[in-house]
Structure 1
Amino acid sequence: MILLMVGGAGFIGSHMVKQLSHAGHSVIVLDNLTTGFRELARHGELVVGDLADTSLLERLFTEHRIDGVMHFAAASLVGESMQDPGKYYRNNVANTLNLLEVMVRHEVKHFIFSSTAATFGEPEYAPIDEAHPQRPINPYGASKLMVERMLQDFYTAHGLNSVCLRYFNACGADPEGDLGECHDPETHLIPLILQVASGRRDSITVFGRDYATEDGTCIRDYIHIEDLCSAHVLALEVLVRGEKVGALAYNLGNGQGYSVQQVIDAVQRVVAKDGCSLRVEEGDRRPGDPAVLVADATLAKQELGWQPQYAELEAIIRHAWAWEKRISHLPHPDEYPLDKAQAGISAITTNNL
C-alpha cells in the first residue's frame, strides 16, 4: 500500500514508518519538523509541510494513490494546552479537519488516528475501558475528543472508516537502537529519569508521595513503542480487509500499572550495570494528576488480535537506555538550535557510546 504518515518524523511516527517500510509498504511522511527530526524520517519519503497547507495536501493526494492515512501530528503538552488553547484547537482540530476533507475529496477511506487517554479526564474507575465516560479536563484532551467525534460524523456522512487508538504512556525505543525519543522539551517519565542517569539532567523529581497507592506515588500504564505500532498495523489491516467499518476506538496499554517509584527502582537496576546512579528529589503534588491511570485493552486484543510483546518494565527501560546512551553526547534538549534538523542529530546513525 501507499500510506501517508502525518507526523512521521516524531517519536511514535518514526517507529511506525520503519515498521511499515520493513513490511513492504511505501510511506510518505508529512511533517513540519516543529517537534520532529529530519533524520528520524529516513525510512520513508519525507515531505516537509503542514496540515494547514491545504494546497500541499491536494497535491500529495493527486500525485500519489494513497490507500490510507495515519495521523500523529498533534500538539500534546497538557500544561501548554491550558496556557494556549488556541494552538491546540487550531493544530489538533482545524488542521485535522483539513486532512479529512481532502481525504473525502480523493475518496481515501482508511484513517488511523493517534488519540489519548486524556479524553477520559479524571478516571471514575480503573482499569479504564472504552465504555468509560469521556470528560476531558484540559484543551489537549478536549481537542482529541473533538476529532474522535468528527470521525463519527465523517463515517456517517462520507463512509470514512477510522480507528482511534487511545494511548496511555508510550515509551521505550526501537529494539535495534535505530530510533527513540527526542522530545523538546522532554516530559515523559522514563526518558527524564534516564537523562539523569546519563548526566543530561541533575535530578528527577517525584511529585507527591501521599497518593492512595501502595508506595504513595502515582501509577501509570506504560506501553512499548513497538507494541503501540503493531496495534496500528493491525487496525489498518482490519479496515483494509473490510472486517471492521465505522468510527472505531480502542484503548492501548499493558493493563499493568507501575508506580513512579517502581519505575525509578527499575531504571536504577538497569543503569547500575553501566555504573550510573540517580539523584531523586521530592516535590508537591501537581494539580490534575490522578492516582491511577491504567488501560483495559481487552477490546483491542479481541477485535484486532493485538498482544503486547514487551510488557516487562525492565525490557522497556533497557531499550530506552540503549537509545539514551547513543544520544547523550548531543546538546541538552533545551540547548538545541532552532532548526533541530541541523542540530547534529545525524550523529545518531553513526555514533554509538
Structure 2
Amino acid sequence: MTNILVTGGAGYIGSHACKALKAAGYTPVTYDNLSTGWADAVKFGPFEQGELTDRARLDQVFAAYNPAAVMHFAALSQVGESMRVPELYWHNNVAGSLTLMEAAVHARCLDFVFSSTCATYGDQDNVVLDEDSAQHPINAYGASKRAIEDMLRDFEIAHNLRHVIFRYFNVAGADPEAEVGEFHQPETHLVPLMLDAVQGKRDALTIFGTDYDTPDGTCIRDYVHVCDLVDAHVLGLRWLEEGKGSRVFNLGTGTGFSVRDVIGHAGAVTNAEVPVIEGPRRPGDCTKLVSGSTRAEAELGWRAQRSTMDRMIADAWRWHGTGHYEK
C-alpha cells in the first residue's frame, strides 16, 4: 500500500482523513505531537509522535516510510488565541510548515495536500467567496495559513513541490460509525460546545456577539460535514497522482447558518433545549463567511452530500454519546 504522511492525523479532521485514506487503499502515517490531538484517535495506520519544527525527527519519519505524499493538517486553529498570542501561530503553523516542506523536498516527496482556511479571505460580507477572492485575513490564524500558501507557491517554483490547497471554514459532524469524532481541550467549536450544554457538561453555550449586521445579530458561517471534507482531500491527492497542476479549491455549501440557526437545529435533533448566555464579540471574528465550491464540484467531482445541518449535528450527537478520548 502507498504510504501518505498525515500531519495532525490524531486531530479531529486528520483522524477522519486517515479513515478515508485507509478506505481508499492508502496507508496513513500519522505524525502528531498530541498537543491538541489524541492517541486514541489513531486507528487506521502507524503513529509517529513528533514536532513539526523538529527537522531531524521529520527526516527520520520520511526515511522510514518513504511516503508518496504529505497531507498537512497540523496547526493551531483558535482565532481568539491567535489574536492574544500570535507568536504561537507564526512559530507553530508557519515555521513548522516551512520545516515540513524542507523535509519533504529533501525526501523527494513532492505531492502536498494542504488544509487551509477561508479565514484567509478576512471579513467580506454578503459575498460567496471563491478561489479568486482577495485574501485579507483579520486574525493571526488566517494570516499564518495565507503565509503557508505563499510558501507552497515558492517551493513549487524552486523545488517542484506540487500542491492542492483546500480552503474551508467551519467543519462539523463526525464519522457515522462513531470510530472518531470531535473533541478538543479546551473546547472552542460551536457544535461540541452546544452538545456539551445539552448534556449538562457545561452550564450554557455562550454566544459571542449578538449585534452583528445579520438577520438575528449572530455570526454566519458555512458548515461542511467532516466526512465530505476529507473525501475532498482524497480527491485532491488523486489529482496530484494523476499529474495535474497545483490548484486551490474552496470547500463549502454556499449556504450560511447563523449561530442561532445552528442552536435551533440542535434543539430539533436532540429534542432538548440548548441553554445559552450572551457574551461580547471575540476579537478577529468575521461577520459572515460563506464559501462556494463550484470549482471543486466541476474539477474534482466533489459533492457536499452529507452537509445538511441536521445530518452534521446528528452524527456529532451520536459520537458525543460514546465518550471522549483520554490522554
Q: Do they superpose with TM above 0.5?
A: yes
TM-score using structure 1 length: 0.89
Partner AA of 2:258 in structure 1? S
* CA deviation profile, 1:231-250 (whole Å, cap 9, x unmatched): 101111011011x213x211
Q: Give the aligned partner of residue 55 of structure 1.
A: 56
SS at match of 1:258: strand
SS at match of 1:90: helix
- Equivalent of 1:308 in 293, 299, 304: 304
Instruction: Report the Cα distance in structure 1 between the residues aligned to 2:88 and 2:216, rounded to whole angstroms.
Output: 37
Q: Give the aligned partner of residue 270 of structure 1.
A: 269
- Does residue 326 (structure 1) correspond to residue 322 (structure 2)? The answer is yes
* CA deviation profile, 1:253-280 (whole Å, cap 9, x unmatched): 11111111111111001111xxx43212
* CA deviation profile, 1:134-169 (whole Å, cap 9, x unmatched): 111121111111110000011111111101111110
Shift of 1:97: 0.9
Q: Give the aligned partner of residue 334 of structure 1.
A: none
Partner AA of 1:132 in structure 2? S
Instruction: Report the Cα distance in structure 2 between the residues aligned to 1:169 and 1:87, rounded to whole angstroms.
Output: 21
Q: Give the aligned partner of residue 211 of structure 1.
A: 212
SS at match of 1:282: strand
Instruction: Report the Cα distance in structure 2 between the residues aligned to 1:48 and 1:159, rounded to whole angstroms.
Output: 28
Shift of 1:321: 0.6
Mean Cα displacement is larger for which, 249-258 or 6-15?
249-258
Rg bigger for which structure? 1
* CA deviation profile, 1:287-318 (whole Å, cap 9, x unmatched): 44333211011111111111111121101000
- Does residue 98 (structure 1) correspond to residue 99 (structure 2)? The answer is yes
Instruction: Report the Cα distance in structure 1 between the residues aligned to 2:287 and 2:228, rounded to whole angstroms.
Output: 25
Instruction: Report the Cα distance in structure 2 between the residues aligned to 1:184 and 1:62, rounded to whole angstroms.
Output: 33
CA RMSD of aligned residues (A): 1.5
Q: Give the aligned partner of residue 228 of structure 2.
A: 227
Partner AA of 1:44 in structure 2? G
Total equivalences in the alignment: 326
TM-score using structure 2 length: 0.96
Instruction: Report the Cα distance in structure 1 between the residues aligned to 2:287 and 2:105, rounded to whole angstroms.
Output: 42
Partner AA of 1:233 in structure 2? V
Instruction: Report the Cα distance in structure 2 between the residues aligned to 1:182 and 1:130, rounded to whole angstroms.
Output: 30
SS at match of 2:248: strand
CA contact (8 A) 2:83 2:284 kept: no
Instruction: Report the Cα distance in structure 1 between the residues aligned to 2:33 and 2:212, rounded to whole angstroms.
Output: 40
SS at match of 2:264: helix
Instruction: Report the Cα distance in structure 2 between the residues aligned to 1:124 and 1:179, rounded to whole angstroms.
Output: 34
SS at match of 1:326: coil
Instruction: Report the Cα distance in structure 2 between the residues aligned to 1:58 and 1:260, rounded to whole angstroms.
Output: 43
Partner AA of 2:257 in structure 1? Y
Shift of 1:39: 0.7
CA contact (8 A) 1:198 1:324 kept: no
Instruction: Report the Cα distance in structure 2 between the residues aligned to 1:75 and 1:207, rounded to whole angstroms.
Output: 20
CA contact (8 A) 2:111 2:162 kept: yes
Q: Give the aligned partner of residue 87 of structure 1.
A: 88
How do residues 98-177 of structure 1 correspond to structure 2 at under 5 angstroms? 98-123=99-124, 125-177=126-178
CA contact (8 A) 1:198 1:325 kept: no
Q: Give the aligned partner of residue 280 of structure 1.
A: 276
Shift of 1:124: 5.2
Distance 1:212 1:147, change over 3 A: same
Q: Give the aligned partner of residue 251 of structure 2.
A: 252
Mean Cα displacement is larger for which, 210-219 or 186-195?
210-219
How do residues 189-208 of structure 1 correspond to structure 2 at under 5 angstroms? 189-208=190-209
- Does residue 7 (structure 1) correspond to residue 3 (structure 2)? The answer is no
* CA deviation profile, 1:200-258 (whole Å, cap 9, x unmatched): 1111122333333232322110100000000101111011011x213x21111111111
Instruction: Report the Cα distance in structure 2 between the residues aligned to 1:83 and 1:216, rounded to whole angstroms.
Output: 25
Shift of 1:125: 4.7
Shift of 1:182: 1.0
Q: Give the aligned partner of residue 286 of structure 2.
A: 290
Distance 1:327 1:79, change over 3 A: same
Distance 1:211 1:84, change over 3 A: closer
Partner AA of 1:298 in structure 2? T
Instruction: Report the Cα distance in structure 2 between the residues aligned to 1:232 and 1:196, rounded to whole angstroms.
Output: 32
- Structure 2: 5+ residue stretches without partners: none
Partner AA of 1:215 in structure 2? D
Instruction: Report the Cα distance in structure 1 between the residues aligned to 2:212 and 2:82, rounded to whole angstroms.
Output: 25
